[in-house]
Structure 1
Amino acid sequence: MKTKIYKLFLCCFVPVQLSCAQTNNQVKGLLFDELTWNVQDSEGTPKPMDTIVYDGKLALHLPKGHNAYLKNIKLENFEIEFDFIGFSMPGLGFRGQDKDNHELIYFRKIASGREDALQYIPIFNGSLPWQLYNYPKYERNAVFAEKKLASFPLTIENYFEQGPIGDSLRYEMGKRGVKYSSEAQLYFINEDVRAIDDMGQLTAGLFRKTKASWELWDPLVWSHVKIIVVENQAIVYVEDMELPKMTIDLKRDIVSGEISLRSQFYDAFYANISVKDLNDTILAMKKDNTRMLSDTYLRTWQLSPKFVKNENEALFQLDSLKSSGATWKKIQADEDGLINMSRFVNKMSGSVVLKTSIDSKDGQNVKMHFGFAKYLMIILNDKVVFSGEMDTKEKEGRVFVDDETVDLELIKGKNEIFLVSTGDEQYHQNWGLIAKLENLNGIKID
């Protein structure tokens, strides 16, 4: 197996280009400077590189929404290791074709020890569909490095008010040697977790409730990560470099592309980066994770052109679509039965209709289980049987096939089903659905 290893060093001095012949397993030094990295904001505007000493390490600092793209190196199969610090969703982009199309693995330090600490999502056309790709397959548990700052009695909860930290809470923290700036904000995460955001000072905190006390932890501590990408698979290691925390089947095409370090909603820091180009497939990594999806899933659909939905005239608009001669495109759900709409439309705006048909041997009722983001109307044989918005409180808005259930009153013969689907037009992140029938007794799906 041929490999090339790239060591990426942070440097404060004047950049000097290193020149050396490439041979197998040779280390090539790459300066962490603007000759090596292209830093951009979320709109793709070039930004200057910022290096900083943070928690004892010289690091690349990426402000909120900034990404650093490795220049002049495109990789398909590779191994990368790095240290990182980030309060919310720092991560690695890879196999990037442009800023809106790549694979993404990111880290929720705020969720350390929970089932959603690690997240994989494929990025199509700039969407961020985290609600569609969820545990236990695309989100996994991991424990990131943290530092305990102090313990408080359970009664400290009386001082937890969302917004600027109040004087009473600030006083109690000060007695224990913990200080945040006057701009620090307290946020409610769940019943057992509160977060302190003081990113103007590049600090943060997490209150976690135990049976006996509230503990305050500093999440902005260096964690070490290794990610191996070969063919259609990625393996993620956190802290322990021998035992992987996540093994996933990737959703995008197997192609060479850009590697990027990413900061999405808060500042992030990266140090001690090494990249190994794996030119040959590592056959030992390959394993058959294929699982046969039940035939009850509705996987084949016809997709309409986009249109602007009028809530009060949706049926009239559907009739117009059916009679207009518009071109419908055949689409397939992925191996999980999921329709990620950003694969098929280039902008998360407007609505689409998906249609299929069900042949029933006799008139009967059958339940359809489904999940969706963010709005859905279901029309069976010209009758609206469901119309609603996804429940973002249940399971934090993640999409599962058993989120919703509706009774389908099938007639003997052909039954037409139309799904009017609208995505997240506010944040442009999630748009998709998944559906299956409870059984196929006397039923044939188109």
Structure 2
Amino acid sequence: MKIRYTNLLFIVLFSMLFVNGQQSIFQEGAYIVYSEDNEKVVLKDTLFKGRRALKLDGTSSSIALLDDINTKNFRVEMDIAGQVMSGLGFHAKDGMNYQFIYFRPQMGNTSEAIQYIPIYNGALSWVFYNYPVYETSTDIKSLEWFHAAFEVRGKNLKVFVNDEPEPKMNISILDNPVDSGKLLLRSLFGPSYFANITWQALTNTEIKEKTLPQTDFLTKWEISEQFPRDTITDYFDNILKRANVADNWKTINMVEDSYVNFSRYFKHPRGVLVAKTSIEADNQSIKNLHFDFVGRVKIILNGNDLFTYKKIRFERVFDSTFSIGLPLKEGKNELIVIVEGDAAFFGKGFRYLGRNQHTNWGFIARVED
């Protein structure tokens, strides 16, 4: 009889944790909460509109990290009631590197309601990864409960809302330092409530990756080390001199990502750098350079200044927001882009997990005849 009771107790506990193969996760005490100053915080579950929930207020409690599940192919479901930005981080190496999918309830029924971003070294590069691919619409409201399901197989991410059969988002996720890892919850600029969170491992189904399209986006660059930002007028000229003297260039070429996202390459993105590339021309000609950027930028071709933007640009980045003529000579042409990023927009930088840094830093560029 003792054995039977023990088995019965095990079955009851097992059934509490698993429903249709789904394991209840983010149970109180099973995760670590960090403030935006990277301090560990002890939280108790709260009650919000009839549901027992984990509350993150976005400042004194910013992220909740669950490190006892190594996720790769999975389905996570939860109820969310958020004010501004509420989301799930997955394939997390740590609190600085992960895939992030989040909701903007205040933007319900607009193209900005759901957004996916790869987080590199703490950078929330939301101005790069936007509509029509990485942002989409759904019917949600601020601080009202809705149900969300996230399904990842290989590089495919699907997001379902309120048990609708068709996903609101169905995309290929971009490379990050790991293709599996921890889970985390995150709230920004206001409170978010998370309830009834479950996780289920999915079979490692092979999914054919889409062939990368042949494009004329410039993705192959040599980049310098990062240098401190300055407020002196025309300090970019000095940055170029310092980069050439240091002669410490790193080749980058992420062909799957048309955005040149510098936060990917620095553990603490917060400076200004020089990027250079070569363009071969069969003869002397004028082509078009289509581009967009964040922060401040300067573009130089064969030693001649082509474009300078001295204000701080902080808007969504799209192909062809700016276009200029590119006078090419026959043979090799050196194109240089000096880029500062968005840190100055926030004063000393965007605050995340105890440090000020860039959250958007880079550009998009392509050459067209």
TM-score calculated relative to the size of structure 1:
0.71
Residues 50/420 of structure 1: CA separation in 2 closer, same or farther (3 Å cut): same
Contact 2:239 2:274 in 1 (8 A): no
Contact 2:65 2:184 in 1 (8 A): yes
1:298 aligns with 2:218: yes
1:409 aligns with 2:327: yes
TM-score calculated relative to the size of structure 2:
0.85
Residues 305/404 of structure 1: CA separation in 2 closer, same or farther (3 Å cut): same
Residues 37-436 of structure 1: pairs in structure 2 closer than 5 A: 37-65=31-59, 66-144=62-140, 146=141, 219-251=142-174, 252-253=176-177, 255-278=179-202, 280-283=203-206, 286-294=207-215, 296-308=216-228, 311-322=233-244, 324=245, 326-388=247-309, 389=311, 391-392=313-314, 397-425=315-343, 426=346, 427=350, 428-436=358-366
- The structural deviation recorded for 1:73 is 1.8
- The structural deviation recorded for 1:71 is 4.3
Contact 1:18 1:30 in 2 (8 A): no
Residues 311/411 of structure 1: CA separation in 2 closer, same or farther (3 Å cut): farther
Residues 328/241 of structure 1: CA separation in 2 closer, same or farther (3 Å cut): same
- The structural deviation recorded for 1:267 is 0.6
Query: 3-state SS of the aligned residue for 2:171?
Result: strand
Give the total of aligned pairs.
Answer: 339
Instruction: Spell out, residue by residue over 1:31-53, the C-alpha distance to the aligned partner (whole angstroms, 9 max, x if none).
Output: 8221x122221233221223222
Query: 3-state SS of the aligned residue for 1:255?
Result: coil
The code of the aligned residue for 1:220 comes to L
Give distance in 2, aligned partners of 1:431 and 1:58: 39
Instruction: Spell out, residue by residue over 1:383-409, the C-alpha distance to the aligned partner (whole angstroms, 9 max, x if none).
Output: 1110114644xxxx1111211111112
- Structure 1: any 5+ residue segments left out of the alignment? 1-16, 147-218, 440-446
Instruction: Spell out, residue by residue over 1:59-96, the C-alpha distance to the aligned partner (whole angstroms, 9 max, x if none).
Output: 11112242222242221111011101001111001111
The code of the aligned residue for 1:339 comes to V
The code of the aligned residue for 1:46 comes to K
Higher CA-based Rg: 1
CA RMSD of aligned residues (A): 2.4
Give distance in 1, aligned partners of 2:366 and 2:325: 12
Residue in structure 1 matched with residue 354 of structure 2 by the alignment: none
- Structure 2: any 5+ residue segments left out of the alignment? 1-11, 351-357
Give distance in 2, aligned partners of 1:38 and 1:318: 43
- The structural deviation recorded for 1:358 is 1.7
Residues 112/345 of structure 1: CA separation in 2 closer, same or farther (3 Å cut): same
Give distance in 2, aligned partners of 1:141 and 1:357: 40
The code of the aligned residue for 1:268 comes to S
Give distance in 2, aligned partners of 1:27 and 1:115: 31
- The structural deviation recorded for 1:318 is 2.0
- The structural deviation recorded for 1:104 is 0.4
Give distance in 2, aligned partners of 1:317 and 1:56: 57
Query: 3-state SS of the aligned residue for 1:435?
Result: strand
The code of the aligned residue for 1:430 comes to N
